[in-house]
Structure formats: C-alpha cells, structure tokens
A = this chain, B = another copy of it.
Amino acid sequence: MAQLMGQMMQMPLSISSLITHAARHHGDTEIVSKRVEGDLHRTTWAETELRSRKLAQAFARLGLAAGERVGTLAWNGYRHLEIYYGSSGSQLVCHTVNPRLFPEQIAWIIGDAEDKVLCFDLTFLPLVEKLAPALKTVRHFVLMTDRAHMPAQTTIPDLLCYEELVEAENGQYTWPEFDENTASSICYTSGTTGNPKGAVYSHRSTVLHAFAAALPDAMALAARDTVLPVVPMFHVNAWGLPYAAAMTGCRLVFPGPHLDGKSLYELFENERVSFSAGVPTVWLGLLTYVKQNNLKFSTFKRTVIGGSACPPAMIRTLEDDFGVEVIHAWGMTELSPLGTLARLKSKHDTLSREERQHILEKQGKAVYGIDMAIVGDDGKALAWDGKTSGDLVVRGPWVIRRYFKQEGSPLQSIDGREWFPTGDVAAIDADAYMQITDRSKDVIKSGGEWISSIDLENIAMAHPAVHEAAAIACRHPKWDERPLLVVVKKPGAELTREEMLAHFEGRIAKWQIPDDVAFVAEIPHTATGKMQKLKLREQFRDYKLPTA
C-alpha cells in the first residue's frame, strides 16, 4: 500500500502567526520602549500587530516585492519590532544592520544584501547622510520618527517619515500564506577576516528556534515574564527574543540606545523586569553601577549570558550578591543563534552548590534541535570525556547550510552527515555539557600543547582588581607560542605584574601560567561586544616576553 500520511491541518510555520497569536491572546500586554527621543513609550501586542500590518501596506505602496530586503539601523524599540513583523510577515526580508560597524562595512553590507529600503533611528541620521550616496540599491530612506522630529533639512533625497507612512494606511491587510522555507531575515556575521557574510533565516527556522528558545531549559519564557532584551535587535535578532516573546505572550521592555548602568537599572526597576539577556560586557557596566550605589534588583530574577564566555566570577556576583540566576549560553549568528545552555539535570539534585556551580559555568547542553560533536584534525569525532578538546561542529534546523551569495558550502562531512564547523574549540563531558576552550584561532600553542585563552581569562577576571583580561599568544623562540595576559585594572585598583601572576598559582598547571602581564587602559571590542583578539595580537606582535 502507499505510505500513510498524517491527516493534520497543513499550516506553514510563519512569523506572522507569532504576532497574530500575541495580538489575539495577549492583546493588551504591554510593550514599553525608551525612545531615542528620550521619553518612555507604551504600546501593546494588539497595537503592534495592527501597525505591522499598516507597515506591510506601506512597504507595498513603496513598491517592494516579495523577497526584497528592508534594511534597519536601529536600537531596540517598538518601531524596530514593527519592522521585524511588517517586513517578514509580508514576505519581505528583514535585514538588521549593526550600526557599530565601520561606515564602509555598513555600506558594503547594505549593498551585498541589496536593501531596497533603509529604516533608521534619529541617532543614525548623520551616519546615513554620509553613506547615502554610496547606497546604490536603496530606493527609499525612512527615518523612524514622527513628523515633529524630522530634520528641517537633510542631504538624503526624499527622506520619508516612518509615522506618516504607517498612519497613511488603513490596516485592512491580511497576512499572506506562503512556503515556510521562504527567507524571513538576514544577519551578517562580523568575521574578523574578510568581508562579513550573511545568514539567511527562514520562517520555519525562526519559529522552530523560538520554540527552542522559550523552553524551560533555555530562556524559560512565560506570559508572566517582563523581558528586557539588552542584546541588540541588530545582533542575531536579539537572540530571537522578539519572536519568542510573541510566541509566549511576554511583556517587553526595550532600552533604546540607553545602555549605561544607570539607565538600565532604572528601567529594570521601574518596569519590573524579570528576565534579560546580553553579552558579558553589558553586565559589567550595570553591575558596576549597582554596586557603587549599593542597590538591589527587586524583580530581576534570571538572565541569559552569551555571545562570549561568561567569566565565572560574574556568574557568582549575579547569583550570590543579587539573587539573579545566570543561564550561561553559547550560540552564533549561523545558529540563529541558540546552541547550548547550562542547565542542570535531575541527577544533579543531590550535588553540593559548589559542584552544581561548576557544571553551570560550562556553556551547557544542546537544546533539542541542535546536535553537536567535536572532531580532531583528522576529521573524526572525538570522545565526550570532558578533557579531549576538538573543533566544535553542529547541525540542526536553525543552522545555516550556506552563506548568502557565497559559492560553495561551509559544511563538513563527518560520519556521513553534514555539520557546520563553528570555529570554536570545545570539550564535551560524558553528561553532554559542552565547554568552549577557545576560538580555534585564539588557542595558544605552547610546545605542541594547547593552552585555553579562556581559562586564563576566567582566572584573571576572578581577581578583585581586574576589570577585564585577555590572554593572547606571543611568539617564543623555544615554545613557538607562550601566553601574554593583557589586563585592564578596575578604576582606582592597585595590581602589580607579580600579584597577577601569583594569583594563577594553584589554579592552573604551572606551564600554563602566562609568561607576562601587560596593563592597558582598554581592550578593543568588536561591534558585538566581543574582545578583538586579532587586534590585540597585532598590537602586541613585536612584544618581547621576558622568558624569550
């Protein structure tokens, strides 16, 4: 007989179904935004869905056709959220551009994506004025503000006002149905070498990722939560929060451009934020402010920290001093971004707090949908013993299979299946907890043995006088490479080279202790908040180690 098929309703997974669900079932749940204009704005899921439909009408009126890209240069806010849904929902492709990149990179990315419309916050008016002549694909420039805030004059031709576009429409628009594998959005990775590359997400991958992100062992999002995404909406779609929040009916609070410790703290308190997510560097600023002013969080209960490895010292501070549960996570643009999160298993119930903490400092276990493996130089899978390190590879329905417009596949065949090579080096223990030991290009190769730069940084960061630390490889005549520790001291703190090095004793094998310490005023960061080790290595290229 013919194969039996399921007899269930056929409904494509779609981004419009997320906002429709939120509007129908969580209609009056608030979306609060700190605006570029300075004030606090309040709207709801129902209003956001309606305005997204109006925006879809406006995009159509501007002549955009299915599959064309809508670029954004914008902070986290309700208008950005409307663009997410108004574009993807109407079969356009939402392309969030990171405004912290160099202007030339921004122009290059917008050209590569062939954005037809560019929507941007007031903050970026001078930037866009400068770039506009170079943006050959852009037919319409939309300033995300109301008439009152439009500039009296600008060099941008035919600059459109976002509010006027939206309000001109009647909202009589039905979200179209289409193949769930249709492109929904593009994010570019800011690679440290070569031009940025685009990951093209689909409606299917986005909805499946939202399910995974909302699960109890991931971000654990419920309708009782008030979620403040510190991670920018131009950074891998704020880790999928704008989608997962609609799916689960969360209340949303957007900080706009106000990411300093004081602004964030006041927003957390005034708006009763229960959950947040961001990279480690953001928490540095917030925690410094909170500590300096002897403050406490009254509603903030848990946060996902990822983007780069979270120093264990930061996890301890958040948990012990502030009662905020830290969920350490790992992901990347090519994974939409969620891959693993550190959460406990049933058998860990009997462990001591210290033992549990040790597990939770790892990047964690794969969320369902993602499978992972570590492979050696011979391309063969390595053991999950918690000691063996290898190149981390992943697969899953929200992992890219190719980059936008790039010839050739980035995938790697292992044991008859295709995997995406992450560029991270990791160990996986017998309980399937993964720990990043390094970026493959950051690992320090000393006499044939590998030293994890992250291990060294975590130890350094646990010292009370250290604000930030980076361990990089320095040339060494005998060992090829030896670790140099680059340190930013806390304001007013005293710390000598000898004290820093003594701090490593007993915490790591003797041969792994850095050969030297260099104190600097600042460590360079990428536009997404990661330490720029490539730049550091360049800076210290001719550095002579005392051991050399």
Contact = CB atoms under 8 A, between A and B. Distances in A.
18 contacts: A2-B67, A3-B178, A3-B182, A4-B67, A4-B200, A6-B182, A7-B199, A8-B200, A8-B397, A8-B401, A9-B401, A10-B401, A29-B347, A216-B248, A220-B222, A247-B368, A251-B346, A251-B347
| Chain A interface size range | 35 or more
A369 B249 CA distance: 13
Interface stretch (A19-27, A122-130, A494-502): A19-27
Contacts of A404: 7
Contact of A5 (B11, B181, B418): B181
Contacts of A527: none
Interface string A475-514: 0000000000000000000000000000000000000000
A202 B201 CA distance: 25
Interface in A291-345: 336, 343-345
Nearest to A6: B202
A261 B220 CA distance: 33
Interface string A426-454: 00000110000000000000000000000
A36 interface: no
Contact of A8 (B205, B221, B349): B205
A2 to B, nearest CB: 7
Contact of A226 (B7, B26, B68, B346): B346
Contact of A6 (B2, B200, B212, B432): B200
A25 B365 contact: yes
A516 interface: no
Given A28-B347, A345-B223, A345-B224, A368 B18 contact: yes
Contacts of A183: 3-7
Contact of A366 (B25, B205, B251): B25
Given A182-B3, A346-B226, A365-B25, A400 B204 contact: no
B343 A8 contact: no
A262 interface: no
A402 interface: yes
Contacts of A212: 211
Contacts of A396: 9, 11
Contacts of A431: 28
A214 interface: yes
Interface string A58-70: 0000000111100
A372 B20 CA distance: 12
Interface of A: 1-11, 13, 18, 20-21, 24-30, 65-68, 91, 93, 178-179, 181-184, 199-205, 208, 211-212, 214-217, 220-226, 247-251, 272, 336, 343-349, 365-366, 368-369, 371, 395-404, 418, 420, 431-432
Given A346-B224, A366-B25, A182 B5 contact: yes
Contacts of A248: 215-217, 368
A459 B272 CA distance: 38
A440 to B, nearest CB: 21
Given A3-B67, A7-B400, 15 more contacts: A1-B68, A2-B67, A3-B91, A4-B183, A5-B183, A7-B402, A8-B200, A10-B397, A11-B395, A18-B368, A25-B365, A29-B347, A211-B212, A220-B222, A224-B344
Contacts of A67: 1-4
Contact of A368 (B5, B21, B181): B21
Copies in the complex: 2
Interface of A is mostly: loop
Contacts of A27: 432
Nearest to A185: B6
A427 B179 CA distance: 34
Shortest Cβ-Cβ A-B pairs, 3 listed: A6-B202, A211-B211, A4-B67
A330 to B, nearest CB: 14
B202 A348 contact: no
Given A217-B248, A249-B345, A182 B4 contact: yes
Nearest to A211: B211
B223 A344 contact: yes
B403 A7 contact: yes
Contacts of A202: 5-8
A18 B212 CA distance: 13
A312 to B, nearest CB: 21
Contacts of A28: 347, 431
A15 B230 CA distance: 36
Looking at A217, A346, A397, A400, the one whose CB has the most chain B CB atoms below 10 A away is: A346
Given A345-B224, A346-B250, A9 B399 contact: yes
Contacts of A5: 179, 181-183, 200, 202
